[in-house]
């Protein structure tokens, strides 16, 4: 019957295509679209799509809630706050493709770029840059989902492979290290680059080398609990190569405020549209800054509190509101504490509109603050001796506070305040290894706030720091356990069933928020 139905529908199409095709080929060509790959344009899109993919669902609702940076009283967006709603975590799969042309399909884009520039020997710098960026994209995907399509991914257009195998995460990591090492070594100063199509470094290959080695350092440290010897090898290779240590080498993408919404900082846009667009009133998704974060910043006398957080103060007539950064007023909302609008909702802290919520704020993709914290951990483990763990930690704190100046005058933190913070919170050089790793991990939780919630999530799963107290909201999906992995969309069980089931079986037979990736021990 199925074959007869296919013939029934196919036969008229054959007649139509053989008798009425005069002129239709031209009509089916979009005159405003390119029919060939323009590598520079696609690389720009791959950068933008990769960093912004599923920010609201993945980084904000899921991770920032689970890592207790944000909280909500509502249940629908509570993937991280109340360990609900797995669909928020499936959105990052859109890196492989989807209907949102602005933020999805970055994997396909970068594969097309690599295919195009691989054919021209003079494009070696473009190829190396694209290979490094591909590792950046895939490391985020595999760290969220575990085994994923990798070697066969993004090949649908070229090879008609619509059911790619899922590679095992150890093999993915091995190939990512190989890709980084080869791509960095292949850079040639005599050849052209992506230039202005490269939104992070404008084609500066020296900075791309540092970015590549910094990514190698991050990934090397990811292996500490599964293969310490291999972790040490790649960490030391990255440090020797040269990583991001100076402010001038920070990987960032500039955004502008204006009527073109796609040019605005997607974090600010996402937070504004999801929650914080109306001062002094209920928020769309019921969000506020979390008690865990605010309490920590207040307890440690961290000057970033006044850069990050505000409370809306109403005027005498209640018609207007002023954003107040006074320390004593800041109050975080407890995670999973409410399921309806709390009476004191307006007294809880929100993101600062003069820094976090600025449409023109830059996106800090990879910072020297994170690198110095990685170097501090390497020193604790005996893998790095150029600077002590204490020196690297202090460098990280300084870098992490100074970077807020990039958000405008509202983000400037004085040298005196930085010194005062370090005096009140000295590095625990005489503490145990665990004490030092906890201090480093907790500092990373603060330093990477919002800019890279994905890395905070990965570092917490690897190290257990900062120490977070789970919630146990009625009906949650994890049994009161903080989520540890994103869920692959159910659609994969339909369109790529055999490979999806094989990967699920390898990873404990489950596809839920409580399952683990390979390096999470």
Question: Which domains, from first to last, does the chain contain?
Answer: 39-252+484-521 (1.25.40.390)
Res. 215: pLDDT tops 50: yes
- pLDDT of 4 reads 33
Model confidence band, residue 30 (pLDDT cutoffs 50, 70, 90): low
Across the range 243-250, mean pLDDT stands at 98
pTM above 0.85, yes or no: yes
Q: Which two tokens stand for residue 352?
A: 């600062």
Res. 37: pLDDT tops 90: no
- pLDDT of 262 reads 86
Is residue 383 within 8 Å of residue 236, measured between CB atoms? yes
Model confidence band, residue 408 (pLDDT cutoffs 50, 70, 90): very high
Using one digit for the tens of pLDDT, what is the confidence trace for 443-481?
Answer: 999 999 999 999 999 999 999 999 999 999 999 999 999
Across the range 179-205, mean pLDDT stands at 98
User: What is the percent of the chain with per-residue pLDDT over 90, rounded to a whole number?
Assistant: 85
Q: Which two tokens stand for residue 505?
A: 């079986």
Across the range 147-176, mean pLDDT stands at 94
Model confidence band, residue 14 (pLDDT cutoffs 50, 70, 90): very low
Measured at the CA of 447, the angle between CA 444 and CA 449, to 5 degrees, comes to 100
Locate tokens 């979390």: which residue? 290
- pLDDT of 508 reads 87
Is residue 218 within 8 Å of residue 455, measured between CB atoms? yes
Angle between helices 205-221 and 169-186 (to 10 degrees): 160
| 3 state SS of 146 | coil
Measured at the CA of 506, the angle between CA 234 and CA 54, to 5 degrees, comes to 70
Burial 468-490 (b: 16+ CB within 10 A, else e): eebbebeebbbeeebbbbbbbbe
Sign of the alpha-carbon dihedral angle for 379, 384, 390, 394: negative
Model confidence band, residue 86 (pLDDT cutoffs 50, 70, 90): confident
Using one digit for the tens of pLDDT, what is the confidence trace for 266-278?
Answer: 999 999 999 999 8
- pLDDT of 15 reads 37
Res. 24: pLDDT tops 70: no
Alpha-carbon distances of 70 from 77, 288, 312, 463, 512, rounded to whole Å: 11, 6, 17, 21, 22
Using one digit for the tens of pLDDT, what is the confidence trace for 306-348?
Answer: 999 999 999 999 889 999 999 999 999 999 999 999 999 999 9
Across the range 213-231, mean pLDDT stands at 98
Locate tokens 């292996």: which residue? 223
- pLDDT of 26 reads 55
Is residue 265 within 8 Å of residue 363, measured between CB atoms? yes
**Radius of gyration of the chain measured on its C-alpha atoms:** 24
- pLDDT of 13 reads 36
Model confidence band, residue 367 (pLDDT cutoffs 50, 70, 90): very high
CA dihedral 219, 52, 73, 65 (to 10 degrees): 10
């Amino acid at each position: 019957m199925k074959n007869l139905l296919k013939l029934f529908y196919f036969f008229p199409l054959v007649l139509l295509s053989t008798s009425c095709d005069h002129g239709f080929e031209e009509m089916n060509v979009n005159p405003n679209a390119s029919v060939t790959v323009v590598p520079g344009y696609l690389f720009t899109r791959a950068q933008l799509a990769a960093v912004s993919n599923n920010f609201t669902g993945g980084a904000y609702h899921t991770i920032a809630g689970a890592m207790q940076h944000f909280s909500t009283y509502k249940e629908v967006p509570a993937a991280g706050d109340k360990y609900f709603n797995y669909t928020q975590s499936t959105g990052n799969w859109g890196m492989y493709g989807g209907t949102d042309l602005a933020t999805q399909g970055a994997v396909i884009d970068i594969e097309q770029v690599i295919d195009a520039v691989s054919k021209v020997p003079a494009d070696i710098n473009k190829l190396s840059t694209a290979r490094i960026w591909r590792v950046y994209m895939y490391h985020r995907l595999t760290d969220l989902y575990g085994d994923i399509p990798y070697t066969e991914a993004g090949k649908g257009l070229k090879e008609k492979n619509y059911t790619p195998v899922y590679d095992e995460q150890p093999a993915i990591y091995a190939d990512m290290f190989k890709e980084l090492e080869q791509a960095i070594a292949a850079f040639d100063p005599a050849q052209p680059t992506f230039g202005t199509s490269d939104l992070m470094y404008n084609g500066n290959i020296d900075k791309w080398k540092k970015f590549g080695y910094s990514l190698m350092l991050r990934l090397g440290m990811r292996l500490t609990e599964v293969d310490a010897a291999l972790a040490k090898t790649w960490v030391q290779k990255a440090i020797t190569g040269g990583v991001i240590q100076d402010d001038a080498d920070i990987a960032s993408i500039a955004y502008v405020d204006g009527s073109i919404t796609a040019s605005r900082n997607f974090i600010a846009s996402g937070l504004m549209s999801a929650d914080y667009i109306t001062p002094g009133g209920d928020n769309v998704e019921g969000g506020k800054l979390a008690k865990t974060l605010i309490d920590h910043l207040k307890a440690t006398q961290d000057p970033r509190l006044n850069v990050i957080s505000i409370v809306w103060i109403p005027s005498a007539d209640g018609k207007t509101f002023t954003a107040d950064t006074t320390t004593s007023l800041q109050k975080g909302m407890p995670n999973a504490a409410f399921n309806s609008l709390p009476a004191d909702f307006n007294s809880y802290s929100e993101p600062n509109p003069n820094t976090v919520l600025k449409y023109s704020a830059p996106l800090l993709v990879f910072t020297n603050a994170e690198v110095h914290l990685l170097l501090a951990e390497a020193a604790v483990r005996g893998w790095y001796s150029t600077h002590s763990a204490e020196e690297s930690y202090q460098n990280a704190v300084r870098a992490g506070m100074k970077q807020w100046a990039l958000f405008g005058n509202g983000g400037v933190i004085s040298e005196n305040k930085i010194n005062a913070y370090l005096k009140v919170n000295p590095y625990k050089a005489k503490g145990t290894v665990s004490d030092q790793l906890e201090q480093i991990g907790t500092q990373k939780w603060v330093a990477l706030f919002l800019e890279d919630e994905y890395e905070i999530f990965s570092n917490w799963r690897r190290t257990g720091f900062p120490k977070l107290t789970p919630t146990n909201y009625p009906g949650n999906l994890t049994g009161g356990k903080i989520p540890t992995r994103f869920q692959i969309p159910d659609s994969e069980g339909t369109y790529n069933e055999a490979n999806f089931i094989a990967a699920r079986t390898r990873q404990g037979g489950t596809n839920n928020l409580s399952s683990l990736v390979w390096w999470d021990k």
